[in-house]
Amino acid sequence: MLARSPQAAFRRLFDEVGSVDHVGIEERVAKYGTRSIKKASKLWGLKTAVSMVDLTTLEGKDTPGKVASLCQKALRPHDDPSIPSTAAVCVYPSMVRHARRVLGSDTAVRIASVATAFPSGQAPLKTRLAEVRAAVADGADEIDMVINRGAFLAGEFAAVQDEIAAVLEACGDATLKVILEVSELETYDAIRAASFLAMRVIREGDFIKTSTGKTSLNATLGNNQVMLEAIRDHYLDTGIAIAMKPAGGIRTAKQALTFLIAVKETLGDAWLNNTRYRFGASSVLNDLVRQIEKEKTGAYQAPYYFSEAAESY
């Protein structure tokens, strides 16, 4: 007879997927910041990071005009043509058709849309699925969904997986990104367990994603590492390559390079491209472009030389 409490459910899941050495993870990621990346490798890393950005605007005040300028920025982040376009733009479902109108159908920049009552996910499943279908119908190439954290924390793992499966079905051909919202999962063990629940449902090439960017704690090197290791273990078990997207809190080029180091040292070169790894961010793009210009000209650049600089001084 199985114990029915949430604690027992978690215990069984942890026993099955393995737990995380909290201190070990923190130690490991602290070392990533010490790698010395110079010259050509740095330039390669910065450009690769640009090509991995999901340029994001998720605000109540978003307008079609703002989304249009975001799309232009995604296509051509700076006037230097050697800087690649970003992987995607990430917008709310109501903005998808405006983004599609600007980008057209023949474009390298994909359109991602957060659906499923983002960021809380607190809407009836029927509503969430309808939102996903609407976003896909409007032209979204990728859907970012949030998992049902309430069900997860109550130990109702089958419910979590059923909902992911239902959203997956609603996505059709669109790529699915499953947001775990790590800040609400409390522990590394729970992040690893949630990663496995999601990965067992989604397809090769779909993503697991750290967070919505709407809570206090977003992507950190620590939870990124836990999820990368879950992806590695899942890949070694099943041969299915799941992609990864840290989101929120990555603001500087240096941070982005450190995340790429984590990817390279955990998953290898196969994950160092924008079909397997993305950054959910917006302000980091300017800093990446700024550092690329610094590498090319040798002169430190003022932030106001780049469009939409956060600082104005």
Partner 1 sequence: MTRLPITKTPKVYVGGVFIRSESARVFPLKDAEGNFFGNIPQCTRKDLRNAVEAAAKAGPGWAKRTAYNRAQILYRLGEMIEARAGELTEALLLGGGAKSAAAREVVASVDRLIYYAGWADKYEQVLGNVNPVAAPYFNFTVTEPMGIIGVIAPEAAPLLGLISLVAPAITSGNTVVALASTTQPYPAILLGEMLATSDLPGGVVNLLTGFRKEMIPTFATHTHLRALVGVVNADERKTLALGAADSVKRTQFFKAESPPDWFAGPAQSLEAIRATLEFKTTWHPIGA
Residues serving a catalytic function are 144, 209, 245
C-alpha gyration radius of the chain: 19
Tokens of 251: 């603001």
Helices 64-75 & 96-103 angle (0-180, nearest 10): 40
Q: How many CB atoms lie within 10 A of CB 30?
A: 11
**Contact letters for partner 1, residues 252-291 (x by CB under 8 A):** ----------------------------------------
Q: Is 310 helix (H, G, I), strand (E, B) or coil?
A: coil
Instruction: State the Cα angle at 183 between 63 and 71, rounded to 5°.
Output: 25
Interface residue with partner 1 among 38, 39, 236, 313 (CB under 8 A) is 313
Rounded to a whole number of angstroms, the minimum distance from the CB of residue 264 to partner 1 is 24
Single out the segment in contact with partner 1 by CB under 8 A; choices: 6-14, 234-242, 279-287, 296-304.
296-304
Q: How far lies 135's CA from each of 160, 202, 219, 234, 304, in Å?
A: 22, 19, 25, 29, 35
Single out the segment in contact with partner 1 by CB under 8 A; choices: 72-80, 119-127, 254-262, 292-300.
292-300
Interface residue with partner 1 among 300, 306, 307, 308 (CB under 8 A) is 300
State yes or no: residue 216 binds partner 1 (CB under 8 A). Answer: no
75 phi/psi in degrees, rounded to 5: -70, -40
Strands, E assignment, 76-120: 88-91, 110-114
Single out the segment in contact with partner 1 by CB under 8 A; choices: 47-55, 83-91, 210-218, 295-303.
295-303
State yes or no: residue 310 binds partner 1 (CB under 8 A). Answer: no
| Residue keyed to tokens 């775990």 | 180
Nearest partner of 49 among 89, 91, 84, judged by Cα: 84
Tokens of 115: 């659906």
Interface residue with partner 1 among 107, 187, 301, 307 (CB under 8 A) is 301
Nearer to partner 1 by Cβ, of 212 and 255: the residue is: 255
Nearer to partner 1 by Cβ, of 92 and 306: the residue is: 306
State yes or no: residue 302 binds partner 1 (CB under 8 A). Answer: yes
Rounded to a whole number of angstroms, the minimum distance from the CB of residue 253 to partner 1 is 13
Nearer to partner 1 by Cβ, of 233 and 295: the residue is: 295
Binding residues vs partner 1 (CB under 8 A): 297-303, 305, 311-313
